[in-house]
Amino acid sequence: MSNAHLQSSRDASRHLFTQKAEAVSATVKTVRYLEQAMDHCIGLCHSKDAESGPAGAHRLLPEGAKRIAAPAIGPRATEIFAAICRENKIDLLQSDIRGSLRGQPGRLDVGFTVAEYGIAETGTLVLDSAEEDIRLTTMFCDIHVVILPASKIAARATDIEPEVEKMMKPPGGYVAFITGASRTADIERVLAIGVHGPRELHILIMEEP
């Protein structure tokens, strides 16, 4: 396959992914640097209603407190993000002594994670969620922000089957497939957003140099 044909195929997959993700109420944007993604999280944290949160969340924080959880983004990225959060008077949650966010009280305003892959045909994100912190972040945040490297968008789920099998092979392997924000129509067939998880999903496609 020529470079031009390969780039055309990648562009088509990226366009389809964006189209499918937006069809299920996800917000899709392009960023070039990690700091841009962090600034996006800060903006969301400042703009959201301080009293809002997932159904059943308990308000155990001081009035107006804002919280972001960003597990597994690497030590250097965490250091940079922590400095940005301090400047904006936002708490960046770290793992507790047990290595888990489980002991952190209250709700999360924003969860910040990195996807392993995207699936264009359904607008789906694939996250290696073997770490409990990642599972907690993606399930208990009000707004989920996910970085998706542009080169990791596959046309079909079958294209990444070998990679997913590798992620599932180790003991405790856990892979999450996320399509759009949390939604359900279990109660009287009325659509409700954010009942079982985040009410907003923001996908930031990271362009490689």
Whole-number pLDDT of residue 114: 96
Q: Which residue has the tokens 């600034």?
A: 39
Distance of alpha carbon 127 from alpha carbon 117, whole angstroms: 7
Structure tokens, 207: 């362009």
Cross-strand pairs, 163? none
Q: Is 85 helix (H, G, I), strand (E, B) or coil?
A: helix
| pTM score | 0.85
Q: Which pLDDT belongs to residue 165?
A: 95
> Residue 129 and residue 55: Cα distance in Å, rounded?
23
Contact 177, 168 (CB under 8 A): no
Domain count, the chain: 1
180: left (phi over 0), alpha (psi -120 to 50) or beta: left
* Predicted local confidence at residue 7, as pLDDT: 79
pLDDT value, residue 52: 43
Q: Which two tokens stand for residue 201?
A: 């999903």
One digit per residue, the tens of pLDDT, for the chain of length 209 reads 667 777 788 899 999 999 999 999 999 999 999 999 999 999 999 887 544 444 434 344 454 578 999 998 989 999 999 999 999 999 998 765 455 787 765 678 999 999 999 999 999 999 999 999 999 999 888 899 999 999 999 999 999 999 999 999 988 899 999 998 765 555 655 545 545 668 899 999 999 76
* Other beta carbons less than 10 A from residue 188's beta carbon: 6
How confident is the model at residue 60, as a pLDDT?
43
- Name residues whose C-beta falls within 8 Å of residue 186's C-beta, 6 or more positions apart in sequence: none
Q: How many CA atoms does the CB half-sphere of 44 hold within 13 Å?
A: 26
- The pLDDT value recorded for residue 96 is 57
Structural domain of 56 = 3-206
Q: Residue 116 maps to which CATH number?
A: 3.40.50.10420
List pLDDT tens digits, range 145-203: 999 999 999 999 999 999 999 999 988 899 999 998 765 555 655 545 545 668 899 99
Angle between the N-to-C axes of helices 34-47 and 75-87, in degrees from 0 to 180, rounded to the nearest 10: 40
Distances (CA, A) of 164 to 25, 116, 157, 168: 25, 9, 9, 6
